[in-house]
Structures are given as structure tokens and as C-alpha cells.
């Protein structure tokens, strides 16, 4: 009597290829330069993604399930700030920043972000040790910065940023508060404790992600940074992103979102979908300080993070 063959369930080839492409993208972003030996089809997909095999056939098209930048989510979140009437955009930074007075000593050519939405970051990604060296050198440049007369006189320490130098996610805040100014570390005060909880809710530790701010010096009395102060720091955060090139940037609050995306739209308009900064996906959500004052908004912030986690295949 013929025995029935057991069927072995496995992931379908399209899923495998999508996962291989995702892995390749991550490895490429963090500067890994090798190809694993896998089955021929997956290796071809990886090779194509790494641009090392010009002759290989492109991998089969895998449907992109990421939320489209153009299409808003089914239930658009309510606007929380005064709406500016223009339609929601997910477009490149538009206006060229005014050139800073003193050029920093970058070890690399800074890539302009004036027409950059969804273009890849320029050049090959650096390996982790090279990133750490560049960021450390760069933090020293920032520590000596005197572009903003007021901020450079008021600060105790500059707050450059910290964390994993090959992160999937960068959390991008506004600027240092009192505790950060004293310690030189981002998000260590009350808002920082909430941010740490948000990171942990995503099943990450602080050390797994990178945390940085739009401006690197504390504005006096925790006022919002002035537009000129943001422009003075633009070159610094741009260079950090160029080195880190994360898959996701989470803008915490209005200041960082408007600075990065060069928009005047409110957080309410910007949240709930992905925007682009080069080929990083940008998510906008509420600042932890806002959430401390308005706990009811925590639900919406968690929905924002879940959008990213689903897109990243993490839930």
C-alpha cells in the first residue's frame, strides 16, 4: 500500500525572497560586505540588492506592503495643532538651509538634503567601527561649536547623541533639557524616562537604537530653539543621519519633524504615515514631554510606533 507523503509547510518563495531582500538591505545599511551562501535564487536576490552582480537577473517583484506615502491610513488621525490647510506631504526637504558661518571639519563630503526624499544616502555605508570613529570626532567638533552665540554661552555640555551606531531606528528629539545639559546625554530626564519606556515597549533597549536631538545645546529656560539655531545645527544632524542611515527615523514632536521634513505642518497632520528622508522612513509622533502633559495622547503615540513595528516585521 502506498504511503501518503507528509507535506512539509515552509515559507513560500516570495516570503523568503522578501525576507532575504530585507536582510540584504539591513546588512548593506550597516556596512556588511559579504554574501552568505544560500540557495541560488536567494543569493541572486542578495547579490542584486548589493549591486555586486550586474549580470544577475533581478529578483522577482515582491509586493511592497509598506504604507504608501501618498495614501493616508484608513482613519486619519485628528489634527492636534492648528491645521495649515495644505495637504499632507511626504516629500523631500525643500528649502536649502542657509550656509553655516563656520564649516565643521567633516571627514567626508556632506550630502545635500535639499531634494532628497527617498533617494539613497550617497556613497557606501560605513562599517560599525568607522562610524564610531567618525561620530566621536564629530562630537568633538560639536562640543567646540560657537555658531549660536546665546546657546554656546548658556550650555554646560553639548548633547551630541548616543546609542547603537548601526541602528534600525533613530529617535530624533528637539533639544537638551536641564538634565541633558548637565550630563551631556540625550533624554535622561523625565521625558527621557518615558522615551525609554516607549523604546522598551517596542522590545528594544536604549542601547539598540540611536537617540539624538535637532539642536545640540540647551535653549535657555527650555524655550523652543529659534529657526536660526536649528539651521546652525542642521549640518550636524544631517551628517549624523548620513553616517547612521537608519531604516527608520522617529521624529519626537513638532520641532524635529518640521526641521527634518522642512515643513510647516502640525504633528497631527504628519503622524500616522511614513515620510522620507533619503531612504530612511520617517515617522512623526508626539514628544514624550507632550505625552507627560497629555497622557491621553499616549494611545496615539503607541499606534504610531506599532505602524513602524509592523512595517519592520517586528509585530
Q: Minimum distance from CB of 314 to ligand URA (Å)?
A: 24
Q: Residue written as cell 551631556? A: 184
Q: Minimum distance from CB of 285 to ligand URA (Å)?
A: 13
- 283: three-class secondary structure by DSSP: strand
The Cβ-side half-sphere exposure at 34, using a 13 Å CA radius, reads 3
Residue 251 β-bridge partners: 172, 284
CB proximity list for 136: less than 8 A, separation 6 or greater: none
Cβ nearer to ligand URA, comparing 180 with 235: 180
Give 248: exposed, middle or buried? Use CB within 10 Å, 0-12, 13-18, 19+. Answer: buried
CB proximity list for 301: less than 8 A, separation 6 or greater: 198, 285, 286, 291
Q: Minimum distance from CB of 44 to ligand URA (Å)?
A: 44
Cβ nearer to ligand URA, comparing 92 with 176: 176
Torsion sign (Cα): 262, 268, 270, 271? positive
Cβ nearer to ligand URA, comparing 166 with 213: 213
Cβ–Cβ under 8 Å, residues 160 and 212? yes
Q: Minimum distance from CB of 301 to ligand URA (Å)?
A: 14
Cβ–Cβ under 8 Å, residues 142 and 184? no
Cβ nearer to ligand URA, comparing 113 with 174: 174
d(CA 282, CA 113): 14
Please give the residue ranges that form the binding site for ligand URA (CB under 6 A).
159, 173-177, 180, 186-187, 189, 191-192, 213, 289
Q: Minimum distance from CB of 277 to ligand URA (Å)?
A: 18
Cβ nearer to ligand URA, comparing 179 with 311: 179
d(CA 106, CA 116): 20
d(CA 114, CA 94): 6
Cβ nearer to ligand URA, comparing 180 with 247: 180
Q: Minimum distance from CB of 72 to ligand URA (Å)?
A: 27
Q: Minimum distance from CB of 215 to ligand URA (Å)?
A: 9
- Which residue has its beta carbon closest to ligand URA? 173
Cβ nearer to ligand URA, comparing 164 with 289: 289
Amino acid at each position: 500500500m502506498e504511503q501518503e507523503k507528509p507535506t512539509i509547510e515552509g515559507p513560500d518563495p516570495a516570503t523568503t525572497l522578501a525576507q532575504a531582500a530585507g536582510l540584504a538591505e539591513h546588512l548593506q545599511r550597516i556596512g556588511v560586505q559579504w554574501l552568505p551562501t544560500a540557495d541560488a535564487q536567494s543569493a541572486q536576490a542578495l547579490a542584486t540588492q548589493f549591486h555586486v552582480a550586474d549580470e544577475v537577473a533581478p529578483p522577482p517583484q515582491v509586493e511592497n506592503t509598506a504604507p504608501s506615502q501618498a495614501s493616508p491610513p484608513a482613519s486619519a488621525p485628528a489634527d492636534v495643532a492648528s491645521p495649515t490647510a495644505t495637504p499632507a506631504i511626504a516629500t523631500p526637504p525643500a528649502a536649502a538651509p542657509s550656509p553655516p558661518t563656520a564649516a565643521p571639519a567633516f571627514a567626508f563630503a556632506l550630502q545635500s538634503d535639499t531634494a532628497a526624499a527617498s533617494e539613497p544616502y550617497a556613497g557606501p555605508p560605513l562599517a560599525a567601527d568607522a562610524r564610531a570613529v567618525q561620530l566621536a570626532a564629530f562630537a568633538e567638533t560639536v562640543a567646540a561649536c560657537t555658531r549660536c552665540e546665546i546657546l554656546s554661552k548658556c550650555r554646560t555640555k553639548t548633547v551630541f547623541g548616543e546609542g547603537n551606531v548601526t541602528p534600525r531606528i533613530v529617535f530624533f528629539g528637539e533639544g537638551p533639557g536641564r538634565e541633558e545639559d548637565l550630563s551631556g546625554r540625550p533624554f535622561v530626564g523625565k521625558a527621557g524616562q518615558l522615551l525609554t519606556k516607549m523604546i522598551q515597549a517596542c522590545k528594544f533597549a536604549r542601547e539598540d537604537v540611536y537617540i539624538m536631538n535637532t539642536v545640540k545645546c540647551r535653549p535657555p529656560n527650555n524655550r523652543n530653539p529659534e529657526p536660526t539655531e536649528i539651521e546652525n545645527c542642521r549640518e550636524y544632524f544631517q551628517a549624523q543621519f548620513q553616517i547612521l542611515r537608519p531604516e527608520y527615523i522617529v521624529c519626537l514632536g513638532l520641532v524635529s519633524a518640521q526641521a527634518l521634513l522642512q515643513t510647516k505642518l502640525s504633528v497631527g497632520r504628519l503622524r500616522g504615515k511614513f515620510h522620507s528622508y533619503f531612504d530612511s522612513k520617517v515617522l512623526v509622533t508626539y514628544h514624550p514631554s507632550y505625552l507627560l502633559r497629555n497622557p491621553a495622547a499616549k494611545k496615539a503615540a503607541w499606534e504610531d510606533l506599532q505602524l513602524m513595528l509592523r512595517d519592520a516585521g517586528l509585530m
